[in-house]
Structure 1
Amino acid sequence: MTTSTAPGTRTDEWNLADIDLAGYLARTGHPAVEAPTAAALRSLAEAHVRAIPFENIDVVLGQHKGIDVSVINSKILRGDRGGYCYEHQMLFGGVLERLGYRVRRLMARGKADRSGPHTHMMLVVTAEGQDFLTDIGYGANMLRPIPLVDGVVVDQGGWELRLEDDNGWWVLSKRVGDEWEVMYGFDLIERRRVDYEVAHHYVSTHPKSPFTGQTVVMRLEPGLSRRLVGHTLTVERPDGTATSTEVAAEDLDRTLRELGVVLTASELAALRATW
């Protein structure tokens, strides 16, 4: 049994009433949406990615307050902060439902060609009768939704992503040179809120999680990908050119601000202590 029905008829498992829609539109700089169209979905997704960074600093500092909408509102909409997949997708999925879209909340298996766990949250959104993979919380990878169509290839700010259906197991890949690199795989089983609470606990606390031991901040815009992973800032362009710079502790505040993350003095001091 799934948990999603037509907008307005489901229980508020996702705390939709707590979504600060006006604050969200102000944070992303997006105008009011008159109807849940495919064009509006595309522009909302791109506005979100360009305005709100992917980052895991609360996880690194051991101060993550959870993935309730009220917490996300305070962190992302009232501060110059971002979040990782659960925060982005909880917020964006709620915004889309408030705007009248049909939203299915799913989970993906990272490194689907190997043995990664189901820990990534993404959405499939229906607009004007078409389903779209909508993922604004996978770091510097996706600017716009991808039609849920086997074999479709979509430009994402200069980088190509491909979606394939293998008997109900969908695989998302990214073109790297002449090869396709698998990003993740997923089915269309809708998930409950508790599934994300469990996954969030693992990702934010387990020593084998890729987010507990190093800082990760990512931004994507057309023609430019920026990624701070650990102490290394990598700036990449679609033609494959990239530069990597080691970020010293004294340059950390400036680097984070350039990536759209503003920490309090105590947070900055705590993060520098991990450097």
Structure 2
Amino acid sequence: MWNSEDLDLDAYLGFLGYEGDRAPTLAILRDLQRAHVLHVRWDTIDSFLYKKVRLDLASLQDKLIRRGRGGYCYEHVTLFAAALEALGFRFTAVAGRVKLGADPQQSRPETHAMLIVEADGSRWLSDVGFGSSPLEPIELVDGAKSESGPWPYLLRWQEITHGSPGWAVHQRGDRPHARDGWEIRQVFTENPQYPVDFAVGNHFVASYERSPFAMRPFVQRLRTDRHDTLDALTWTTERPGAAATKETVRPHEVPKLLADVFDIRTDPEEADLLVRRLTELPEQT
């Protein structure tokens, strides 16, 4: 279903620096998720510049592996799903609604892709495409936690949208709607998603005129001791237990920042286009 026959598995695993076993076990799933989150880059540059993002494996491998560019959740999860399929894992794709920073009374579209993977007799939420993703899968049980990375996550079964039950992923936070120091990051049900569903959601995210990803570039890089983001021209660095630092950068500085901080490579033509489009953004400071 996920076109794993079109995946160069050796090239993908080589990019991750993974040289371990290739059995469909929980230990291997953990190793692969950690390696994917830390090595495959995350950005929305294609939706900002071109209003088009391709999900075929040939394009994804060329962009994310060969050219060293980043992508967002639909790209990450499509690539990861193909790899898991090639390795013999059983899994179901699901769609989430990102709630972080949103009014909890307003509905959000299902525009976040994830996987529920079966391994070692249990089911695990594998979320490799959030940018600041958990470094390990989270067991799909109420109250399960992930504490392997710089920031912890909590999974709860609860009311999620207008009285409907489902799963909510929480992260540490102190916004007004936080509960016991945890705030909701995304919610989802177990309704299965298929590549055609990802194609529909991806088209909306990449091309809809009010999609945040089509309006400005957003770039992330998670490391084991820090999380960097570039939101339009605002560069933010977060470290566990420390206050975030923010800096406004100028358009012409962005290509070098992408290379030096985010390890994202743009060719000269694309870098020039990115600088021009950033210069045209309204309300720059």
Q: Same fold (TM over 0.5)?
A: yes
Confirm or deny that 1:155 pairs with 2:112.
no
| C-alpha RMSD of matched pairs (Å) | 1.6
- Counterpart for residue 273 of structure 2: 270
Q: Which amino acid aligns with 1:186?
A: F
- Counterpart for residue 119 of structure 1: 111
- Counterpart for residue 190 of structure 1: 192
1:181 to 152, 165, 183: 183
Tell me how far 1:65 sits from its aligned partner: 4.5
Q: Distance in 2 between matches of 1:197 and 1:253?
A: 29
1:226 to 216, 225, 228: 228
Q: Distance in 2 between matches of 1:65 and 1:250?
A: 24
Q: Distance in 2 between matches of 1:214 and 1:179?
A: 31
> Is 2:51–2:206's contact at 8 Å kept on the other side of the alignment?
no
Secondary structure class of the residue paired with 1:211: helix
| Structure 1 segment 94-113 matched on structure 2, within 5 A | 94-111=82-99, 113=104
Q: Distance in 2 between matches of 1:137 and 1:65?
A: 15
Confirm or deny that 1:248 pairs with 2:266.
no
- Counterpart for residue 201 of structure 2: 199
Tell me how far 1:32 sits from its aligned partner: 4.0
Secondary structure class of the residue paired with 1:106: strand
Q: Which amino acid aligns with 2:96?
A: A
Q: Which amino acid aligns with 1:31?
A: E
| Structure 1 segment 18-33 matched on structure 2, within 5 A | 18-33=6-21
Tell me how far 1:69 sits from its aligned partner: 1.1
> Is 1:141–1:156's contact at 8 Å kept on the other side of the alignment?
no
Q: Distance in 2 between matches of 1:238 and 1:169?
A: 29
Q: Distance in 2 between matches of 1:64 and 1:78?
A: 19
- Counterpart for residue 71 of structure 1: 59
Tell me how far 1:159 sits from its aligned partner: 1.1
Deviations 1:217-265 (CA, angstroms, capped at 9, x unpaired): 1111212111111101110011142111112123212210120210111
Deviations 1:202-228 (CA, angstroms, capped at 9, x unpaired): 100112212011111111121211111
| Structure 1 segment 27-66 matched on structure 2, within 5 A | 27-62=15-50, 64-66=52-54
Q: Distance in 2 between matches of 1:181 and 1:197?
A: 29
1:137 to 113, 124, 129: 129
Q: Which amino acid aligns with 2:170?
A: S
> Is 1:65–1:71's contact at 8 Å kept on the other side of the alignment?
no
Q: Which amino acid aligns with 1:175?
A: R
Stretches of structure 1 that go unaligned for 5 or more consecutive residues are 1-12
Q: Distance in 2 between matches of 1:271 and 1:172?
A: 33
Q: How many residues align?
A: 263
- Counterpart for residue 283 of structure 2: none
> Is 2:226–2:237's contact at 8 Å kept on the other side of the alignment?
yes
Identical aligned pairs, as a percentage? Answer: 35
